Structure 1
Amino acid sequence: MKLIFLLFLGIHGVTAVTHSLKYFYTASSGVSGFPEYVSVGLVDDVQISHCDSITKRNVPKQDWMTAATAEDPQYWDRNTQTCVGNQQSFKAGVQILKQRFNQTGGIHLYQEMVGCEWDDETGEVKGFNQYGYDGDDLVVFDLKTTSWVAPKQQGVITKHKWDKNKANTDYWISYLSQICPEWLKKYVAYGKSSLQRTELPSVSLLQKSASSPVSCHATGFYPNGADLFWRRDGDEIHEGVVKGEVLPNNDGTFQMSADLKLSDTPEEWGRYECVFQLSGVKDDLITKLEKRRLRGNGSGSDFPVAAVVGVLVGILVLAGVVAGGVFYWKKGNHGFKRTNTSDTSSSSREDPDSKKEDNEKQTMMGANC
């Protein structure tokens, strides 16, 4: 299992911005000191809300999210009610899945990730709803075929149940293609000054020892739609290059690295350069590979521990928003998939015809397996 939940865009010069709204719901069993249920909302991978079974309150995590109450004074109260109501459904789901997997004890997680992406230039919208258990995909909604897919045998029961529930399917079609994008656009407008800012990173070239790869490390950039790659004689290279994922810093910015395994002599290093591209920024940030720029070269005694610690902190922030509530996720062949399991009927969610369209309500319309 891999602690992960951020999606990122490799842009290679593209300046259009794809915004995203994602909700993560996690029920846990056997995890000491961790809430039995946690829900987290993110806009453009910035946390906007948090609720758990200990605090029993859904609260804003960004100042600009208080704008939601200006339009709807009951917004946070209503979402709190939804959060509290969903705890039992997810908790029951864990027990059902433990039975399906013939488990009696241990640590188990049942998760759901639901949301949408919106390209503010083309207007294209993509919706997703994925469930998983213990880091593996369980059930995924295919918006194109309007049916559920079960990557694991234990999810087939749920697939058949939900495929037969036309009202639930109609709800998800509506939510993922219309309601979710509408809320996403609202949230982007609320946080425009923050979400649509751009911050360039500081870039360092790191090498632990003379035989180690050279790591190009960019940190402090925003938004997370970025790319980092190596060029040789002006051409991008892939052989000998290992690109890392975009990770969050604890100040709301992001970081990433690209490692280059060198076979050339130091005299030829000048042919290489590390290129950083950021969504919405026209000019590339180019760092030439020069021996004098390397930090940590040779014995490794001056290797920048602070940079390594920063990466570890980013991973911890990524992993869990653990205080904010995040979870085991797996990157499968079809993208980032989340685990969620619950065998009570999905009809326990709010009536799809209800006029309530707030964020948390929508995402919970199918949590029961």
Structure 2
Amino acid sequence: MRHLTVEPLIASLLMMHLHGAAAVIHSLKYFETGSSGVTNFPEYVAVGLVDDVEMVHYDSNTRREEPRQDWMIRITEHDPQYWQRETEFSIRNQQVFKADMETLKQRFNQTGGVHIVQKMYGCEWDDETNEVKGYAQDGYDGEDFISFDLKTETYIAPKQQAVITKHKWDNDRALITQKKNYLTHECPDWVKKYVNYGRSSLMRTELPSVSLLQKTSSSPVSCHATGFYPDRATLFWRKDGEELHEDVDLGEILPNHDGSFQMSADLELSSVAAADWRRYDCVFQLSGVKEDIVIRLEEKEISTNEEKPAYITFIIIAAVALLALVIIAVGGFMFHRNRRAQCPPTSDNSCELSEQLNLKAEVSALHTVYG
């Protein structure tokens, strides 16, 4: 059996304050999606992730299992047939998904339309306690269809249409033994191997840039942290050194295109006097990093895209124009005064002609430089 995955729910529940946290929960996940009636989208897609970083990808358009990380290429250099075998495995899975799709459409009395079958499976491994959690579940059209309970070694069918499958799989003890062995032994072993090979990337630490943002003067102030890695981080607001929960809207940790992460926490300030702003600050903490990043709530720290009123803009432009006119007038007066002092009036105006020729020579020189 191939190494597997499902969406774990543990990491987010453990994200409290992370000072010096040494233990790390590593994960291996696989997500497979089969679709019917979806235009401009592959009929079947499978991705594998280690610590939420995509490492392999397959889809029915390319019909190739491909690495997504350099270290995945290196670990298979000793096995030239690795990618060919994985591709063949994914092609077989694609056919299974196609058959499952037709079965489910019949059970739900469906003939056409858009439909999605999803499988999620994998495991999490705590590198300190060595505890392992495995999971495997299927979904259909965005809802749970059937899942495997590792503790009871039975299947759970939340929908009537899945009961037939539950009875069939519950009675297949060889299948259950194989799945249990994968989730509790094979999968954690692969997690350890992948983490070891990709250590320089997966175990790196990157601190974010943290800034305060506000759309308008009446909007909440958003504390935004972006560019951090790993995603074991927390962001919160404090008042007088105490963490705030009221009037705070904490956003989810989201991925950036470069593999790092971002998150934000919004603070509602409508009932807070400006003089009390200095009592608030935003704190970012990253797992394994002792020092916090702290930004005090001050007006000078806030970036905003609120435009200045039109009349203020007009006054600024008018003031600049007036100042320019004054400079030109003063400069012209000084120029003529100096020229008259150096060039006394004569009947042939030879001095004035000489000044004009010198000016033309300077302009000609500038054109030569820029030409």
TM (norm. structure 2) is 0.76
Counterparts of 2:224 and 2:91, CA distance in 1: 42
Within the alignment, does 1:122 sit opposite 2:121 as a pair?
no
Change in 2 beyond 3 A, CA 1:299/1:137: farther
Contact 2:254 2:261 in 1 (8 A): yes
Whole-angstrom CA distance in 1 between matches of 2:201 and 2:92? 32
Per-residue deviation, 1:180: 0.2
Unaligned runs of 5+ in 2: 1-5, 310-371
Are 1:189 and 2:203 matched, yes or no?
no
Checking the alignment, whether the CA contact within 8 Å between 1:210 and 1:299 is kept in structure 2 is: no
Instruction: State the alpha-carbon separation in 2 of the partners of residues 212 and 15 from structure 1.
Output: 38
Match of 2:17 among 8, 12, 18: 12
Counterpart of 1:146 in structure 2 is 153
**Secondary structure of 2:23's aligned partner:** coil
1:135 counterpart (135, 142, 166): 142
Q: Shift in Å at residue 61 of structure 1?
A: 0.5
Determine the C-alpha separation between the residues in 2 that align with 1:216 and 1:115: 34
Residue 61 of structure 2, aligned match among 54, 58, 64: 54
Q: Deviations over 1:22-57 (max 9, x none)?
A: 000000111111110010000111110001111111
Matching residue of 2:171: 164
| Correspondent of 1:207 among 192, 214, 219 | 214
Residue of structure 1 equivalent to 2:112: 105
> Shift of residue 174 of structure 1?
0.3
Letter in 1 for 2:164: I
Q: Report if aligned partners of 1:226, 1:276 keep a CA contact under 8 Å in 2.
A: yes
Higher relative contact order (CA 8 A, sep 6+): 1
Q: 1:291 aligns with which of 292, 299, 306?
A: 299
Residues 212, 182 of structure 1: alpha-carbon distance in 2 compared, 3 angstrom cutoff:
same
Identity %: 61
Distance (whole Å) between structure 1 residues aligned to residue 102 and residue 258 of structure 2 = 37
Asked if the contact 2:30/2:122 (under 8 Å) is kept, the reply is yes
Amino acid at match of 1:279: S
> Which sections of structure 1, spanning at least 5 residues, go unmatched?
302-369
Higher helix share: 2
| Distance (Å, rounded) in 2 between the aligned partners of 1:103 and 1:276 | 49
Deviation string for 1:268-301 (max 9, x for gaps)? 1111111111122122111111111111175599
RMSD, aligned α-carbons: 1.9
SS of residue matched to 1:70: coil
CA distance in 2, matches of 1:300, 1:223: 39
User: Secondary structure of the equivalent of 1:86?
Assistant: helix
Q: Quick check: 1:226 aligned with 2:239? A: no
Q: Structure 2 CA distance, aligned partners of 1:20 and 1:82? A: 22
Contact in 2 for aligned 1:15/1:279 (Cα 8 Å): yes
Distance of 1:26 and 1:292 partners within structure 2: 48
Report the number of matched residues: 298
Please name the residue that 1:68 is paired with. Answer: 75
CA offsets per residue over residues 114-164 of structure 1, 9 Å max, x none? Answer: 111111122111111111112111111111111111222322222222111
Contact kept in structure 1, 2:7 and 2:120, CA below 8 Å: no
Question: Are 2:301 and 1:274 aligned?
Answer: no
CA distance in 2: counterparts of 1:273 and 1:12, whole angstroms = 16
**Larger CA Rg, structure 1 vs 2:** 2
d(CA) in 2 for partners of 1:255, 1:40: 22
C-alpha distance in 2 between matches for 1:149 and 1:269: 52
Give secondary structure in 2 for the equivalent of 1:47: strand
Structure 1 counterpart of 2:256, one-letter code? N
Greater alpha carbon shift after TM alignment, 38-47 vs 94-103: 94-103
1:88 to 95, 99, 105: 95
- Secondary structure, counterpart of 2:76 in structure 1: helix
Instruction: Quote the Cα distance in structure 1 between the aligned partners of 2:74 and 2:305.
Output: 50
How far is 1:5 from its partner? 6.4
Q: Which amino acid aligns with 1:204?
A: S
How far apart, CA to CA, are the structure 2 residues paired with 1:220 and 1:250?
Answer: 10
Match of 2:40 among 33, 46, 71: 33
Distance in 2 between residues matched to 1:269 and 1:205, nearest whole Å = 13
Q: Is the 8 A contact 1:11 1:277 kept in 2?
A: no
CA distance in 2, matches of 1:271, 1:154: 57
1:320 corresponds in structure 2 to none
Q: Are residues 5 and 170 of structure 1, via their aligned partners in 2, closer, same or farther at CA, if it must alter by over 3 Å? A: closer
Question: Could you tell me how far apart the structure 2 residues matched to 1:73 and 1:280 are?
Answer: 38
Relative to structure 1, the CA distance from residue 198 to residue 162 in structure 2 (aligned partners, 3 Å threshold; closer, same or farther) is same
Q: Is the 8 A contact 1:199 1:223 kept in 2?
A: yes
